[in-house]
Amino acid sequence: MRKAFTILGIVGLLFSTNITAQENSKPIIKDTITDMGVAVAPAMVKFNTIPGYSDVKYVTITNDTKKIEKFKISIADYDMNDRGSVKQLPTNIFHEYGLSKWISISPSFIELKPGEAKKVAITLSVPDSSNAYRAGWAMLVIDEMKERQAITPKNSDGKNMAMGIIPTFGFAVYMFQNPPNVKVNKLELTKLKYVSNDQSNANITSRGTIHASAKNVGDGLGFSKMYIELTNINNGYKTKLSSKQFTIFPKMERNFDFPLPGELPPGKYIGSVILDFGSDETLDAAEIEFEIIASNPPKK
């Protein structure tokens, strides 16, 4: 395997316009109701708050159903593994990079009539402390709350089950904080490997898999994309595999699998792996060589 890592560049900061807490938050009633369900927007909130200051963002919940919907809203920290799987942490557990301790929301409970939309204000108050001059994250958790109807048990003792409130479905809005001092997201390609499979069958759906890893060695959040371009050394045939778009946290490594299509012609290949982390000037790249073996002809 031949690797050629490029020196890291500067990632453009994702500045967003500050919105004051006085923004009009009166409910909106739609003229037409499609009964398509409940919508939450945006699905991601990005802060660039200076330590020692506060910032407010808004999330809108829209009830496009024909019945009244009620929601409980809360904040939680979460963790992510190297495959991008998210795990919500209990309310009494705080992540090292968690924002929940600095966030307040208003309101924490809303009721929406059919066709109605309301805004939830998310206030991030960042202290002027050493651990505030780095990235952080949390999630806004929106749980639908529904009144449980009284149920008569099968046995005829004359008693009904008590009324209660239970969540039925929910949404998660991911929130990120990159303070202005975080100017460089240092992302690197760390591992690159080709694993072949049984290539004796001409009808196989995959010619193997390229495994690639990226690590964030900086202190800022990386909003990145990885893709692979394949070149057949023998005949110059080129193709591009589907890209992976992902978020990578500080000090974290993400692992990705790129299956090779079954129709890939036999021959020797160079796989060029490109890691695009937002810089207009620099990409991180590496190359790997491998061979696709021609299928064995049927025996006579």
The closest of 239, 176, 246, 240 to 213, measured between CA atoms, is: 246
For 238-254, the pLDDT digits (tens) are: 999 999 999 988 889 99
Q: Residue 6: pLDDT band by 50, 70, 90 thresholds?
A: very low
Higher-pLDDT residue of 296, 39:
39
pLDDT over 50 at 17, yes or no: no
All structural domains of the chain, each given as residue ranges with its CATH number in brackets, are 32-177 (2.60.40.10), 187-292 (2.60.40.10)
Q: Residue 52: pLDDT band by 50, 70, 90 thresholds?
A: very high
Tell me the whole-structure pTM to 2 decimals: 0.71
Whose tokens are 């991030």? That residue is 124
Cα–Cα dist 38/59, whole Å = 13
For 157-170, the pLDDT digits (tens) are: 555 555 555 546 78
3-class DSSP state for residue 246? strand
Least confident of 57-61, 91-95, 157-161, 281-285: 157-161
117: enclosing H helix or E strand: strand 116-125
CB 143 within 8 A of CB 71: yes
Residue 38: both structure tokens together: 């409940």
Q: Phi and psi for 25 in degrees, rounded to 5?
A: -115, 20
Number of CB atoms found within 10 A of residue 248's CB? 24
pLDDT over 90 at 13, yes or no: no
- Quote the distance between the C-alpha of residue 135 and its chain's center: 15
pLDDT over 50 at 5, yes or no: no
Higher-pLDDT residue of 124, 180:
124
pLDDT of residue 293: 81
Residue 175: both structure tokens together: 């929130």
Averaged pLDDT, 3-7: 35
The closest of 225, 46, 253, 53 to 136, measured between CA atoms, is: 46
Averaged pLDDT, 129-156: 79
pLDDT of residue 183: 65
Dihedral over Cα of 70, 75, 77, 82: its sign? positive
Q: pLDDT exceeding 90 applies to what percent of the chain?
A: 51
For 169-202, the pLDDT digits (tens) are: 789 999 999 999 886 567 889 999 999 876 555 5
For 89-121, the pLDDT digits (tens) are: 987 788 889 999 999 999 999 999 999 999 999
